[in-house]
Amino acid sequence: MENVVIIRYSEIFLKGKNFAFFENVLVDNIKEKLLDIKCELIRMNKRFFVAGYEQKDEKKIISKLKEVFGIHSISPAVKIESTEQSINDYVSSLKFNKKSFRVSVNRADKRFPISSMEYGAKLGGLILKNNKDVFVDLHNPQINVCVDIRENNCTFVYYDVISGIGGMPVGTSGSGLLLLSGGIDSPVAGYMMAKRGMPISALHFHSYPYTSEDAKNKVIDLAKIISKYTGHFKLFVCSFTEIQESIHKHCNSEFMITLMRRIMYRIAERVAIREGIQSVITGENLGQVASQTVESMTVTNAVVEKLPIFRPLIAFDKEEITKIALEIGSYETSILPFEDCCTVFLPKHPLIKPKLDKCIKEESKFDFESLITKAIENLEIIEI
């Protein structure tokens, strides 16, 4: 008899000939997540279980597994030999403080001589015999005793099925560069793309001294929160002060936000290509602010020539985004009152429906290419 933690796949179960690739990436991600815990990860017929750990580490193991994309559910369990006597002896020893129960038998190993329904009834009788004042409730039990008779002479007995976060294992779907601000949306956008298997890096624009070191540190903290789900990544920090000052000095103020974002996107694409990253990710949400209208996004997109731009939150409302931020632990950091560069030189009346030809005319008023080159040359790289 041994305490184990069962791990069940998410949607990679549906994969065909390349299933092994997805499974191997998931195995690597789980091992990396549990690196600081003495344990063993064992595969068994499209299911894993964690074994060889000290009982005091079980809750920590489960907590870490709940941060791994690709996991459907988790169950702390007891692993015993798949003989009728071994299973009967263990189930007979169970003591409950709940009043109602049911026994659910899954006979994955069809060589086991008793049918699932028949054996469930028999085990239920053993529990009734050894527990006073309990009764069977097949429809709404307070406790469900699951007896999973697997191949390889292993049976798992468990009560809880803990939901994982699902999705695809990180490392199975290209790569992306997240434009990470200090707000609520962009960390959630990074999380959502990682959930589809995409490893991410991040790019943050800061405008010291108009924005403080606290604002930069806040973004580093957000990156650390995201990394619980994505694993290690690089955070590129770009000084945007000189670019903003040039736009403010030379261009019509109502174009400030649009021109800023067009230059941010140019920088993002060039950094991504230099680093071998395959896409750009933003936290934009249709209609939320002036820079997130269809017209604004069209004008901004126009400067990105070689990479796709992913906007995973495009149709979310703020309540939905906030809910995810609370679930992943980024919300409290995101709402800390430190300004980001998008609030610097903010015009009173920003353009809602900018025209591409007019934006190009405004950009011709200053040498933004040399400023972009300088900004990229002076990027700060922080390992998260």
* pLDDT digit string, tens, across residues 51-74: 999 999 999 999 999 999 999 999
pLDDT given for residue 341 in this prediction = 63
pLDDT given for residue 210 in this prediction = 83
For residue 164, give the DSSP letter. -
What is the rounded CA–CA span in Å between residue 259 and residue 253? 10
Cβ atoms of 220 and 183 within 8 Å: the answer is no
Q: Does domain 2-163 have CATH number 3.30.2130.30?
A: yes
pLDDT given for residue 344 in this prediction = 63
pLDDT given for residue 342 in this prediction = 63
pLDDT given for residue 272 in this prediction = 98
Interior angle at CA 283, CA 303 and CA 273, nearest 5: 45
Stretches in the chain below the pLDDT threshold 50: none
Same fold, 2-163 and 176-383: no
**pTM, entire model:** 0.92
Element housing 194 (H / E)? helix 185-195
Residue 209: asked if its preceding bond is cis (omega within 30°), the reply is yes
pLDDT given for residue 221 in this prediction = 97
Taking Cα atoms as reference points, which of 126, 148, 138 lies closest to residue 78?
148
Q: Where are the domains of the chain?
A: 2-163, 176-383
Residue 28 to residues 12, 172, 231, 304, 320, Cα–Cα distance (Å): 15, 12, 11, 34, 31
> What CATH code would you report for 176-383?
3.40.50.620
Cβ atoms of 294 and 355 within 8 Å: the answer is no
Read off the pLDDT of residues 197-211 as tens digits, 9 standing for 90 and up: 999 999 999 988 888
Tell me whether residue 272 is exposed, middle or buried, using C-beta atoms within 10 angstroms of its C-beta: 0 to 12, 13 to 18, 19 or more. Answer: buried
DSSP 3-state of 296: helix
